[in-house]
Amino acid sequence: MTAVAATPARRISSLFWPTIATLLMTGFLVSLGAWQMHRLAWKTSLIDRVAARATTGPVPVPLEGEWAGLVPDDYAYRHVTFDGTYENNKEVKVFRPLPVARGPIAGVGYLVLTPFRLSSGGIVIVNRGFVPLEQAEPATRAAGQIEGPTTVTGLMREPEARNIFTPSDDPAQRTWYTRDPQSIGAALGVPAVAPFTVDADAKQASGGLPQGGETVLSFSNDHLSYALTWFGLALGLVGVYVVYAWRALTGWAKPTSTGP
């Protein structure tokens, strides 16, 4: 058996496609890591912005003449206050299938959304808070219905997006699955509805329900760990390639053989 060693040129040429594949995969993994770092900066900015807006004292809600120019990124989670009257006969429910209530009463239930006629004109739909399934109907929580002129404080929220898994709304039963003020206003025949909703602060209902203060103010932020994972995979891939290339170029691998 006679051992035949590959020539240096042949060894180098054998690395062409592995090198191309490694460069492409490394670039792809690094781009994923860079994208996660971009998301980290965005999420950190969002968390800081929400905390700043939600914890400051309430400011007057934008007037009806300003609504057309509002941009969600500019107003989401802004703490506002306004005067007017609830239109309790037009209350609707937004189903929440998971027990995510923030207060002492939790479980599967509904968010109660009620049109609120501003003293300055126009309608703002107020998310008054959570009620359990067994108290979905207003008659079961009459003590919590606010009649006559009142003041509301809460956080402005952008319309809630739908996805392919969101069930169809049921206006006949006044049941929705997203906080969509335009859809709700159109179904109720309410003109001049604000393009945002307001999550009422806690303790807005004298009878305990609806349970206000249901805004989620904590956000998962795992983007740094995701970025480190992608960068780590890229580094590992480069390490594997370096070992492979070293073995190929130095002839470390066992030589092939021809016939006797």
What the block records as the tokens of 69 is 């120019």
Closest CA to 133 of 104, 103, 110, 106: 110
Cα separation, 61 vs 75, whole angstroms: 10
Closest CA to 119 of 147, 95, 140, 150: 150
149-205 residue pLDDT tens: 999 999 999 999 888 989 999 999 999 999 999 999 999 998 889 999 999 998 766
**Interhelix angle for 223-250 vs 16-55, to 10°?**
170
pLDDT band with cut points at 50, 70 and 90 for residue 83: very high
Cα separation, 75 vs 77, whole angstroms: 6
Residue 107 and residue 156 in one domain: yes
Residue 141 and residue 246 in one domain: no
Tell me the mean pLDDT in the region 133-151. Answer: 90
Q: Does a structural domain hold residue 237?
A: yes
Rounded to two decimals, the pTM is 0.77
Closest CA to 93 of 123, 140, 127: 127
Q: Does a structural domain hold residue 126?
A: yes
Residue 144 and residue 244 in one domain: no
Residue 183 and residue 84 in one domain: yes
pLDDT (0 to 100) of residue 100: 59
Q: Does a structural domain hold residue 144?
A: yes
pLDDT (0 to 100) of residue 95: 92
Residue 85 and residue 158 in one domain: yes
* One-letter amino acid for residue 216 of the chain: V
pLDDT (0 to 100) of residue 159: 94
Q: Does a structural domain hold residue 52?
A: no
Residue 160 and residue 242 in one domain: no
Q: Could you tell me how many residues make up the chain?
A: 260
Residue 164 and residue 245 in one domain: no
Q: Does a structural domain hold residue 59?
A: no
Cα separation, 237 vs 26, whole angstroms: 7
Residue 167 and residue 93 in one domain: yes
**Would the pLDDT of 99 be above 80?**
no
pLDDT (0 to 100) of residue 50: 84
Residues forming a β-bridge with 124: 116
Cα separation, 171 vs 184, whole angstroms: 8
102-129 residue pLDDT tens: 667 778 899 999 999 999 889 999 999 9
Q: Does a structural domain hold residue 157?
A: yes
Q: Does a structural domain hold residue 71?
A: no
pLDDT (0 to 100) of residue 260: 53
How many structural domains compose the chain?
Answer: 2
DSSP H/E element including 87:
none
What is the span of the domain harbouring residue 22? 3-41+221-257
Residue 132 and residue 183 in one domain: yes
Q: Does a structural domain hold residue 155?
A: yes
Whether the CB-CB separation of 92 and 105 falls below 8 Å is answered with no
Residue 182 and residue 238 in one domain: no
Residue 96 and residue 167 in one domain: yes
Cα separation, 43 vs 154, whole angstroms: 23
Residue 188 and residue 86 in one domain: yes
